[in-house]
Amino acid sequence: MRFLDTTLRDGEQTPGVALTRDKKLLIARALDEMGVSIIEAGSAITSEGERNSIKAVTNAGLNAEICSYCRIVKFDVDRALECDVDSIHLVAPVSDLHIKTKIKKDRDAVRQIAAEVTEYAKDHGLIVELSGEDASRADPDFLKAVYADGVDAGADRLCFCDTVGLLVPERTTEIFRDLSSSLKAPISVHCHNDFGLATANTIAALAAGAKQAHVTVNGLGERAGNASLEEVIMSLEWLYKYDTGIKHEMIYRTSRLVSRLTGIPVSPNKALVGGNAFTHEAGIHVHGLLADKATYEPMSPEYIGRQRQIVLGKHAGRSSISLALKEMGLEADDVQTEEIFNRVKQMGDQGKYVTDADLQAIAETVLDIYREPLVKLEEFTIVSGNRVTPTASIKLNVKDKEIVQAGIGNGPVDAVINAIRRAVSSCAEDIILEEYHVDAITGGTDALVEVRVKLSKNGKVITASGARTDIIMASVEAVMNGMNRLIRVE
């Protein structure tokens, strides 16, 4: 079974995404290391910049086959050849809707042009995967005729595109049983997620004889996206016990990389790679997990390079509280644990998210411990405007030593956080800001804002918050709270 990753082509068609050459290279290297067979690096016809990017991926010395999308147009094939690609994903519209209204031709013309362009590409040394676009709305006999002519013209592989995501698993099984037994070349499946069935349809196609699946990291792609790499790979590995050969421990890291470089956030409840996929808040779950992880986890998070997280909130139980206190190195007797539990519940009832720093503050009050923060804010200044680079200077007291530092950023918040990170680098060099989230608690421009951050250091992750009417102060407060906690738990 092979995987064609099209994050850099269909994934890049996600509205708002445009990857530079360097970003494409970073993603291509990660995909290659993970072990995908083919990387569709882009559509060479798109622009000069796209051709430079594809060429850079082709010349990066990767193991994967590098592919460009092409229409059934010789000019497109010439542009792909300029990029030195190994293969083309040659796409012929096959439904009458696409043939008549989109490219204004007839069935015979499509059959003829698809075969001619296939032959042209083969004559120029390319591997050809001939795709039927909108195949799920095409006449099956006509589709098979296009494929048969393509194979006669030299096509190495064929592909069935469910272009607007209309398949259901039962129908997919019927189609791929028929195609895989009647075609003279291996067939691939390319699914879109318009009805949330892309992964299910892809798995059904593979089970019914497809030899290759098109996937994208985080399910990026046109409209609702494509079949997601992580869902397809992990369903096969974990649910079907099929060894895909993909380095599954790289899945989460690659998902984060793609999210960061494309600017498309992953929804918290996204299967496998969403922020909440291995995070537990409900007391009953945490109690169960402490006895056996399998009670409330379908698989171990480490398998895809993740870690489990227990968070506190309205649904916390005493088991979660005891666990969190233990992780903080704090000891509480039954009465103290009960009091901390009640205060956490009160925060939850007020609609608040209970961060690690909040729990620490509650616990320290209840246990009557006062710990002087290791990093204290003395003062900061920010310069921002439409004609200046946002710049911040900060004075901190770090472990009783005064440190003055400056930082620049994309905006004033970014600048001040960078300044803080530089100032504390002497005692906390590798603190990473994993997430930054801001909410306006009340309405209006003078609203109280709450900033929540997730910071990590050497694999230890903590959450902290700050609430002020000034977004910069709230951000500074959240980051300082979090840093103090992270430095202390070392």
Ligand X SMILES: CC(=O)SCCNC(=O)CCNC(=O)[C@H](O)C(C)(C)COP(=O)(O)OP(=O)(O)OC[C@H]1O[C@@H](n2cnc3c(N)ncnc32)[C@H](O)[C@@H]1OP(=O)(O)O
Q: Which residues bind ligand CC(=O)C(=O)O (CB under 6 A)?
A: 10, 91, 131, 133, 161, 163, 190, 192
Asked whether 230 and 251 are in contact (CB, 8 A), the reply is yes
Cβ neighbours of residue 192 under 8 Å, at least 6 residues apart? 162, 163, 164, 165, 198, 221, 222, 223, 224, 225, 226
Choice between 66 and 72, CB closer to ligand X: 72
* 127, β-bridge pairs: 87
Least Å from the CB of residue 193 to ligand CC(=O)C(=O)O: 11
CA separation for the pair 57, 84 (Å, rounded)? 10
Between helix 198-207 and helix 169-182 the angle, nearest 10°, is 40
- Tokens 């850099």 correspond to 8
Choice between 10 and 477, CB closer to ligand CC(=O)C(=O)O: 10
Strand, helix or coil for residue 460 = strand
Choice between 91 and 366, CB closer to ligand X: 91
Q: Which residues of 447-467 are buried (b: 16+ CB within 10 A; e: fewer)?
A: eebbbbbbbbbeeebbbbbbb
Choice between 3 and 278, CB closer to ligand CC(=O)C(=O)O: 3
Length of the chain counted residue by residue: 490
Q: Which residues of 45-70 are buried (b: 16+ CB within 10 A; e: fewer)?
A: bbeeebbebbbbbbebebebbbbbbb
Which of 91, 138, 396, 413 binds ligand X (CB under 6 A)? It is 91
Q: Does 89 participate in binding ligand X (rule CB under 6 A)? A: no
Least Å from the CB of residue 140 to ligand X: 19
Q: Taking CB positions, which residue lies at the least distance from ligand CC(=O)C(=O)O?
A: 161
> From ligand CC(=O)C(=O)O, ligand X, none, which one binds at residue 218 (CB under 5 to 8 Å depending on kind)?
none
Cβ neighbours of residue 402 under 8 Å, at least 6 residues apart? 378, 395, 396
Of the listed pieces 66-74, 81-89, 334-342, 433-441, which binds ligand X according to CB under 6 A? 66-74
Strand, helix or coil for residue 105 = coil
Q: Taking CB positions, which residue lies at the least distance from ligand X?
A: 71
> From ligand CC(=O)C(=O)O, ligand X, none, which one binds at residue 73 (CB under 5 to 8 Å depending on kind)?
ligand X
Choice between 130 and 286, CB closer to ligand CC(=O)C(=O)O: 130
Of the listed pieces 30-38, 70-78, 321-329, 398-406, which binds ligand X according to CB under 6 A? 70-78
Choice between 117 and 413, CB closer to ligand X: 117
The three state secondary structure string of 382-406 is EECCCCCCCEEEEEEEECCEEEEEE
> From ligand CC(=O)C(=O)O, ligand X, none, which one binds at residue 190 (CB under 5 to 8 Å depending on kind)?
ligand CC(=O)C(=O)O
Choice between 204 and 392, CB closer to ligand CC(=O)C(=O)O: 204
- Identity of the amino acid at 415: A
CA separation for the pair 107, 111 (Å, rounded)? 6
Asked whether 234 and 251 are in contact (CB, 8 A), the reply is yes
How many residues bind to ligand X according to rule CB under 6 A? Answer: 17
Least Å from the CB of residue 117 to ligand CC(=O)C(=O)O: 15
Least Å from the CB of residue 482 to ligand X: 42
Task: Please report, as residue ranges, which positions from 24 to 53 form the binding site for ligand X (by CB under 6 A).
Answer: 43, 45-46
Q: Which residues of 374-411 are buried (b: 16+ CB within 10 A; e: fewer)?
A: bbebeebebebeeeeebbbbbbbebeeeebebbbebee
Least Å from the CB of residue 54 to ligand X: 12
Which of 222, 231, 237, 356 binds ligand X (CB under 6 A)? It is 222
Q: How far is CA 210 from the centre of its chain?
A: 26
Asked whether 459 and 400 are in contact (CB, 8 A), the reply is no
Least Å from the CB of residue 131 to ligand CC(=O)C(=O)O: 6
Which of 100, 102, 184, 223 binds ligand X (CB under 6 A)? It is 102
Least Å from the CB of residue 247 to ligand CC(=O)C(=O)O: 26
> From ligand X, ligand CC(=O)C(=O)O, none, which one binds at residue 131 (CB under 5 to 8 Å depending on kind)?
ligand CC(=O)C(=O)O
Which of 1, 73, 408, 438 binds ligand X (CB under 6 A)? It is 73
Choice between 5 and 281, CB closer to ligand CC(=O)C(=O)O: 5
Strand, helix or coil for residue 368 = coil
Strand, helix or coil for residue 450 = strand
Asked whether 419 and 394 are in contact (CB, 8 A), the reply is yes
Least Å from the CB of residue 52 to ligand X: 15
Q: Does 166 participate in binding ligand X (rule CB under 6 A)? A: no
Interface residues with ligand X (CB under 6 A) are: 10, 13, 43, 45-46, 69, 71-73, 91-93, 102-103, 133, 163, 222
